[in-house]
Amino acid sequence: MRNKILMSALVMAGCIGLTGCSDFLDAENKSNVESEKYFMSEEGFENLSTTPYFKLRAIYDGDPVNLFISGTDLYEKGRSNYADAALATYKNLNAENKTLLNFYKACYDGIQQCNTVIDYANKGAAGSNVQKRLNEAKFLKALYYYLLTQQFGGVPVSDSYITSVMTSFPRKSQTEVYGYIINLLKSVETANALPEEDHTGRVSMRAVYNLMAKVYLAWGWDTGTTANDDGSNLAVTDRTYFGLAAQYADKAIAGKTPSLSFSDMWDVKNDNNDDILFAIQYTRGISGQDETTTGNKQMAHFGNYYNDDLPETKYTDSQFPASEKLIYLFEPGDERFDGTFMVSQLRSYMSWYTEPVTDKTEILYYFPAWYTDLSTLDKYNTSAEGHKTTNVYSTSDPCIYIKVSINKRTGKITYTKSEQRYSVSRTQTSQTICVRKFDDYESKRNTTKGVSFHNIVLAHLTESYLMAAEAYYMAGDEPLSLQRLNVVRERAKAEKLTSYASYKRHYSDGTANSYNNGSGIGNVPFETNLDPIDVILDERARELCGEYYRWMDLRRTKRLVSYNVKHNSGVTSADDMKGPDGRIRWFRPLPQDVINLNGAISEKDQNPGYVAASTDGE
């Protein structure tokens, strides 16, 4: 399937409430009659069925990813400032935001593609896989709507393929859209036309169950809990949907435990391993493909600038470096720290994966926040021949670092030890550790970002376990919740939790207490007796770092305000997250173009916390 996605075969114009819609045109610009005949054929319908998959790239490999990671507790302002300051800080966020519009359009474009596949399937398209493709399209349509509900709440629903200009689509409530999504997915479940598993990029039943768990979990939080406007004083009023979320998360798990270590699961050579339930596929080696531009950008995020003067260093966009909170969440012995971050950065970055490290020149080394003491850092440059020209950093707050300077005339090496706040380090060249879990070490080094052919993973086994942990807890079954959580921790070699109350969350107080000074980790500040949902969110931060969940996680669990105020340097108080109407911005604003061009939506339909842009003179 990966090689059958045709980037230029199908061209679509149209987005609900924004533009008119036309039939598909193939690369040879066939007439509408010829297109109709082609897409009813087995070859044409198979090609058509790939387009809803391909449209996911516009969301997960474009500006819309900012909606999933900006304005959270885990990713901060980097050397290149914010990718989208309004989304990151909530200040000046309004309905004219282009990232929001691009996301909205991409989702509805994908939905229209799904409706087209469904329409041709129902009209009797040829082929032995029609029922499979029909149910795949239903799943993908449900996924697009799920993403919309998490960002905007209620949205318009389109249930059919549109062939003419339509400018009136009433907005459905979030509950109505949840019901619509579940009905789509239940029809897929009932049809039983999809395989239990698939590792080629097509939808499987386990992916369907994973999405059903996501929807029920969000539905439970949105309609089965109450809280103050800022998210405080949370109370559970209805556990029904949480029970269903737990049930479907377990169906996605299917009795399996992780088959690979954390690092091996994310290794690009294992892209389609058994622990992956659904991913956007990328394939190198396609004839005529420019592999310096047609890959994805995921590995370019979550780091800083590492000196382009060295042609084999990793290219990054200097955005979304790890926050102070994130670097302290990893515990001693947790393999996910080394599996998530590039601890030892070589002059030839990708050779860390392909050649023995001892044979390469190391230029940067990052110690974890607090479980390696400062005496080890002091001795690092003399501990091995390959370390003598390495710049060494403690990934802590304050950051202790040793910088190397070499006299070009004499060759004399000078070491300078310094200290600065991590908030400074994450905006400086090379001084912040980068995420490596998405690295494609076979990629071609280029000054553009789209060089990775590592698949973008949207659902996997341990993510399903974490959903189960959250759902079981909210359904009232704490023992089962903890058991599901500990499966994830066991794979990571993290200490098993005997109870949620036993968990310790370490953090920085900005002083020398915040790194290991030789007396062990006991001196590093920590808090315990956390709410189990906070423990689960910490586990999600470690296990899912860099994956596109965090903003939706915080919105869903009503932690969006409290976590941003405490851990986002761009938010100083809850007032920063309020609009002119005094309401908290729990959702994104509906794009102004939607309000202007959709006759069934008006300014009064705008989400709380936003004032629609003026349309005077238009």
**Residues in CB range of 228: below 8 A, 6 or more apart:** none
Q: In terms of DSSP bridges, do strands 413-420 and 456-460 run parallel, antiparallel, or are they unpaired?
A: unpaired
User: Three-class SS string for 492-533?
Assistant: CCCCCCCCHHHCCEECCCCCHHHCCCCCCHHHCCEECCCCHH
Among residues 587, 597, 615, the alpha carbon closest in space to that of 606 is found at 587
The Cα–Cα gap between 36 and 46 comes to: 14
Q: Please tell me the class of the 34-77+84-194+560-613 domain.
A: mainly alpha
* pLDDT recorded at residue 446: 55
**Residues in CB range of 383: below 8 A, 6 or more apart:** none
Question: Could you read off the pLDDT of 364-393 as tens digits, one per residue?
Answer: 999 998 777 788 899 999 998 889 999 999
Residue 419 φ/ψ, nearest 5 degrees: -140, 140
Domain locations along the chain: 34-77+84-194+560-613, 197-281+455-491, 309-449+497-545
Distance of CA 36 to the CA centre of its chain: 37
* pLDDT recorded at residue 1: 54
On the CB side of 149, how many CA atoms lie within 13 Å of its CA?
27
* pLDDT recorded at residue 250: 99
Q: What is the DSSP string of 143-158?
A: HHHHHHHHHHSS-B--
The Cα–Cα gap between 600 and 130 comes to: 35
Q: What is the DSSP string of 155-184?
A: -B---S---S-----PBPPHHHHHHHHHHH
Beta bridge partners of 584: 578
DSSP state of 449: S
Q: What is the pTM of this model?
A: 0.93
Token pair 């908030």: residue: 423
Domains 34-77+84-194+560-613 and 197-281+455-491 share a fold: yes
DSSP state of 365: E
- Residue 137 and residue 114 in contact, taking contact as beta carbons nearer than 8 Å: yes
CA angle 174, 176, 179 (to 5 degrees): 110
* pLDDT recorded at residue 447: 58
CATH of 197-281+455-491, one of 3.30.9.10, 3.30.470.20, 2.60.120.10, 1.25.40.10: 1.25.40.10
* pLDDT recorded at residue 592: 95
Which regions of 194-240 does DSSP assign to beta strands (E)? 225-226, 235-236
In the chain, which stretches have pLDDT less than 70? 1-33, 164-165, 308-311, 357-359, 445-448, 519-520, 612-618
The Cα–Cα gap between 440 and 386 comes to: 25
Among residues 301, 334, 331, the alpha carbon closest in space to that of 546 is found at 301
DSSP state of 40: H
